[in-house]
Structure 1
Amino acid sequence: MRHIKRLYCTHRHVAKSVCISKCTDIFTNLALEDWLYQNRDFTHSHLLMFWRNEPCVVIGRHQNPWLECNFAALPCIENGVKLARRNSGGGTVYHDLENLNLTFFTGRSEYSRRSNLEVISRSLKNSFNIETKINEREDLCIKQSKISGTASKLGRTSAYHHCTLLINSNKTNLSLALRNILDCEVKTNASVSVRSKIMNLSEVIPDVTVEGVMKAILLEYASKEIEIIEEIDENHFPGVGKIREMFESDSWRFLRTPKFTLFRNFSNGQVFMEIDKGIVTDLGVSVHVDDVSASFQHLLGKRFSKLVLDEFELVVEGLQHSKIGRISCNKSLK
């Protein structure tokens, strides 16, 4: 697939090209996407990148991983589901090999989510006779069910819009991976995903394949140049390894989480736990119990995790009586 006849033109002439990543590692593909955004000039050329990943949950740049997914269960789903944070905003999505990802790179002035989604919509109509619509959130839907989520990043001169396309994803694993297990009231400034009813294209056309959908979109996008990317390495993309390390790091995935506070009610009052940059920085209780400090002190300064959450719940279960008590984090523990 190196050359495809131009079938469709934008309002003004621009050079359009396509790259298809053969890599299925989420961190490497995110690094490639970011490398292209940083190093290519899209002022007079557009690029469409196709990519797929082994099972993973991908949260938006400003989201909270502990609120967006079943973080404790991810390693146990199938052969393990990775957790990644992308560089764009928007909500959380689940990827597997039956989910096709598309990134449309353009100049800032040509950025248009709707135009990109219309390319996909026309391809599904022309090749599969599937009717889709773009809703007010600029998601692609079949009737009331979403088949594609969407997010973007806008720079000074360049921009990209990326979206998922559910073809035959494992909806059982998707549901399990995106389940919120926190049984607490939460105060946070993090972006929160909007839960929607979803659908695979295979529910409409049982024999549809990722390759078939990709071919249909290629015909509609009508690029004369297609590049198959077999290796994403320093020889072809200098500096991509460092970008990948950033995406895989705990400091990016977890410690960039906006500050949030968990509140847990019990019969005589309420307990809170504040987490900032992934660290427990403050705890408090609205009733007095003996040795409150001893009950909580061991959690202060710890990295937030399922284990810390379980310990917090144990403290809540043991609380009784009613007066005001509070402790605050020792700054040296941060």
Structure 2
Amino acid sequence: MKYITNLSNDPWYNLAFEEYCFRNLPMEDEYVILWINSPAIIVGKNQNTLEEINSEYVEAHNIKVVRRVTGGGAVYHDLGNLNFSIITKVKGEEKIDFRQINIPIVESLEKLGIRAKLSGRNDITLDEMKLSGIAQSIWKKRVLNHGTILFDTDLSVLSNALNVKQEKIESKGIKSVRSRVTNIKPYLKDDVDILTFKEMLLKSIFEHKNLLPEEYILSEEQKKDIEMLCREKYSTWEWNYGESPEFSFKNYKRFPFGSIDIRLNVKRGIIKNCKIFGDFFGTEDVGILEEKLRGVKYNEEEVEKIIEDEPLEKYFGNITKKDFKNLMFK
């Protein structure tokens, strides 16, 4: 086993770093990476991003949204959350096995005074509350096993960022299961910060395997490849939003001039169909606006470009562009 140092707090870069190591490093060794993100929501590869996030809150608080290559539910990261990635070879049959790989994490936490346990399918819990969610991916006889450890996360932000009203969206994306969560810092015997805890955990993981910590150092060429993967994949709307499963969105609101009922079908992040109903009175055929919205990214900035020069009052009556945009997204 070797560890890989990653001091970045950029969520887009860190997910690119992890995937690059998973798919490209020589598999004579097992690798462990401990890393910390600035505020971000990390969604599972099979999820509809918009079903998992409170878009308005996320935008207002500059929280990045990133899709990962493993399944499972959405999780919140911040500078009080420690992430672990373990990359190893498939041992025996190719199947998802959380217990085998994560026992060292649980036993390492126990050595630090945290009486955690593997619980359910893919959680680590403490006093019946979730402190870690784990996910896995298998590719070409390799396993990526990664998870979160809630050390001193702002749980109020976690709750708000993932608190989304889902009744307006219908899709086949995998929905997250919300659980009671807890930080582990209050349970530690010593008052340490997250960076000290990170070093303690790394040392304990190697001790569990009776090994001395040994570092794998990435070359400059490998680092450039990671930066390219970040730029071309993880920082793009197409990956983080456009990879969402097909879904339908509906919204209704009554205005002084009448009601508007909007229905959208979105596939790979693109508005494939748009229908607008209501008892409003307009001098312009609303079908013209529907057609202009078809083929557009389901993204607030892109929709703003479409309606910027549109005389919305001619379609509906006295409506503002902000009201119409809210109708399409909120």
Number of the residue aligned with 2:203:
218
Rounded to whole Å, the distance in 2 between the matches of 1:156 and 1:142 is 34
Change (3 A) 1:126 1:252: same
Q: Tell me, what secondary structure is at the counterpart of 2:34?
A: strand
The question of whether the paired residues in 2 share the 8 Å contact of 1:54 and 1:96 is answered with yes
- The DSSP-based 3-state class of the residue aligned with 1:100 is strand
Find the counterpart in structure 1 of residue 243 from structure 2. Answer: 256
Q: 2 CA distance for matches of 1:266 and 1:173?
A: 28
- What is the match of residue 296 of structure 2? 302
Q: Is the 8 A contact 1:72 1:306 kept in 2?
A: no
Specify the alignment match of 1:189 in structure 2.
172
Unpaired segments of 5 or more residues in structure 1?
1-15, 316-334
**Structure-1 separation of matches of 2:175 and 2:294:** 26
Alignment partners' CA distance in 1, 2:76 and 2:229:
22
- Out of 2, 10, 14, which is 1:29 matched to? 14
Find the counterpart in structure 2 of residue 140 from structure 1.
Answer: 124
Structure 2: which 5+ residue stretches go unaligned?
Answer: 304-321
On the 8 A contact 2:252/2:327 being kept in 1, the answer is no
Distance 1:251 1:305, change over 3 A: closer
Q: Is the partner of 2:120 in helix, strand or coil?
A: coil
1:311 maps onto 2:324 in alignment: yes
Q: Which residue of 266, 272, 277 maps to 2:268? A: 277
- Deviation, structure 1 residue 312: 6.7
State the match for 1:95 in structure 2: 77
Greater relative contact order: 1 or 2 (C-alpha under 8 angstroms, separation 6 or more)?
Answer: 1
The aligned counterpart of 2:234 is 247
In structure 2, C-alpha distance between the alignment counterparts of 1:25 and 1:312, rounded to whole Å: 30
Deviations 1:68-109 (A, max 9, x none): 1122332322xx211111111111111111111111111022
Q: How does 1:4-15 map to 2 (within 5 A)?
A: none
| Paired amino acid for 1:224 | L
State the distance in 2 between where 1:286 and 1:170 align.
42
How far is 1:217 from its partner? 4.3
Distance in 2 of aligned mates of 1:81 and 1:228: 31
Instruction: Give the match's secondary structure for 1:125.
Output: helix
Measure, in 2, the Cα distance between the counterparts of 1:279 and 1:183. 20
Whole-angstrom CA distance in 1 between matches of 2:173 and 2:70? 13
- For 1:235, the equivalent position in structure 2 comes to 221
Hey, what's the Cα distance between the residues in 1 that align with 2:261 and 2:3?
55
CA distance in 1, matches of 2:100, 2:247: 36
Please give the secondary structure, in 1, of the residue aligned with 2:101: helix
**Which protein is richer in helix relative to its size?**
2
> Residue 316 of structure 2 corresponds to which residue in structure 1?
none
Kindly tell me the number of residue pairs found equivalent between the two proteins.
Answer: 294
Specify whether residues 275 and 122 from structure 1 end up closer, same or farther in structure 2 by C-alpha distance, changes over 3 A only.
same
User: Is 1:233–1:241's contact at 8 Å kept on the other side of the alignment?
Assistant: no
- How far the C-alpha of 1:271 sits from its partner, in A, is 4.9
1:38 & 1:280 partners in 2: Cα distance? 33
1:60 aligned to 2:44? Answer: yes
TM-score by length of structure 2 reads 0.78
Say if 1:238 and 1:139 are closer, same or farther in 2 by CA, change over 3 A. same
